[in-house]
Copies of this chain bind each other. A is one copy, B any other.
Amino acid sequence: MVSRVVFGRGSFNQLDEIISPKRLNVNAPFIFLVDDVFKGNSWLTSRIPLAYGDKVLYISANEEPKTSQVDALVEEIILTTKERPSGIIGIGGGTIMDLAKAVSIMLTNDGESKDYQGWDLVKNPAIYHVGIPTISGTGAEVSRTTVLTGPDKKLGINSDHTPFDQVILDPELTKDVPKAQWFYTGMDCYIHCIESLNGTFLNAFSQSYGEKAFQLCKELFLDNNLTAEEAQDKLMMASWHGGMSIAYSQVGVAHAMSYGLSYVLGTKHGIGNCIVFDHLEEFYPEGVKLFKQMKSKHNIELPQNLCADLSDEEFDTMIQVALNLEPLWENAIGKNWKKVITPEKLKELYQNM
């Protein structure tokens, strides 16, 4: 779990105070990985506390994070710093959170990041890493994974060394998120709850977090009678609780299929989940019904027929990436999931998307 958390509007201002005691020496800089939507946004950037050789690396989150991107960042950091950095600070959405976690792991572990995609493959503790989310929903700020697209698969580096040492939850940082992205990323959280609460891995720990996040999502996306600030605060907490819920259970059908979609088409995770989930009445009838209400309430139009022109080979890859996520299917369907979820079944589902 994340060891330290600060919550509050304006808590981003405490960053200097929080990280200063963690500086190892003047040659060991802090590296800030910052979503490039903030480039030139001095409201945020002027508050990044730079000293000595600290560096800001602006990173586009237009594509899902890749193992090759992690390895390139690690190489750049090693080549341009005098000593191993004092810490990695990620400021952005799920993509930046995942990159910050993966880079901090790969600075102390040999080889390439693709070698660590899986469960509990990380040997050495990561360097100090801080997560500062600027959009809410992914749960990446609290999770023990860092989902990466590698040469062979889309899969997380799941390990005890993955979670951030420190998280700063400042809901004010989410104030300028565009409407569609707010919805897609918020739905990532909503789908986490549905998949966790309806999974066979459910336990009282995950259930209590999942139920809270689910209730907050309904309050946010259906009841919709909060002030802008309250909504920012509550969505940040929903994301947190949704992330905690899946950390102790697992996601399900929507995530498995969305990984396949994303691997082949590069679809971003939030919208990809929505596209898939919209067609999953069969697995999550109540959850999908509410989702459609939320979509309609916020006038969200999802892309249609994404898979219309896929070749057989592309379908096969998509299906294989999805099927490889065995724990997700086991959680969703049960131990005998292979009897229900065949390549043919998945093809049929994908063909509607």
Q: A1-B2, A3-B3, A5-B1 are in contact. Are A234 and B212 (CB under 8 A)?
A: no
Q: Chain B: which residue is nearest A211 at the CB level?
A: B212
Distance in Å: Cβ of A249 to nearest Cβ of chain B: 10
Which residues does A use to contact B, with CB under 8 Å? 1-5, 7-8, 160, 169, 171, 203-205, 207-209, 211-212, 215-216, 230, 233-234, 236-238, 240-241, 248
Contacts of A234 in B (CB 8 A): 204, 208
Q: Which 4 A-B pairs have the closest CB atoms?
A: A204-B233, A7-B205, A208-B237, A212-B212
Distance in Å: Cβ of A204 to nearest Cβ of chain B: 4
Instruction: Find out whether the CB atom of A4 lies under 8 angstroms from the CB atom of B1.
Output: yes
Point out which of A2, A160, A215, A237 has the most chain B C-beta atoms below 10 A from its C-beta.
Answer: A237
Instruction: Find out whether the CB atom of B216 lies under 8 angstroms from the CB atom of A8.
Output: no
Instruction: Find out whether the CB atom of A204 lies under 8 angstroms from the CB atom of B1.
Output: no
Q: How far does the alpha carbon of A205 sit from the alpha carbon of B241 in the complex, in Å? A: 10
Instruction: Find out whether the CB atom of A171 lies under 8 angstroms from the CB atom of B204.
Output: yes
Instruction: Find out whether the CB atom of B236 lies under 8 angstroms from the CB atom of A7.
Output: no
Q: How far does the alpha carbon of A229 sit from the alpha carbon of B64 in the complex, in Å? A: 42
Contacts of A171 in B (CB 8 A): 204
Distance in Å: Cβ of A238 to nearest Cβ of chain B: 8
Contacts of A4 in B (CB 8 A): 1, 160
Q: How far does the alpha carbon of A241 sit from the alpha carbon of B1 in the complex, in Å? A: 15
Instruction: Find out whether the CB atom of A7 lies under 8 angstroms from the CB atom of B204.
Output: yes
Contacts of A204 in B (CB 8 A): 7, 171, 230, 233-234, 236-237
Distance in Å: Cβ of A193 to nearest Cβ of chain B: 13
Q: How far does the alpha carbon of A215 sit from the alpha carbon of B241 in the complex, in Å? A: 15
Q: How far does the alpha carbon of A236 sit from the alpha carbon of B203 in the complex, in Å? A: 12
Q: Chain B: which residue is nearest A208 at the CB level?
A: B237
Supply 20 A–B pairs (Cβ within 8 Å), ascending by A: A1-B4, A1-B5, A4-B160, A7-B203, A7-B205, A8-B203, A169-B205, A171-B204, A204-B230, A204-B234, A205-B237, A207-B237, A208-B234, A208-B237, A208-B238, A208-B240, A209-B212, A211-B212, A211-B215, A212-B241
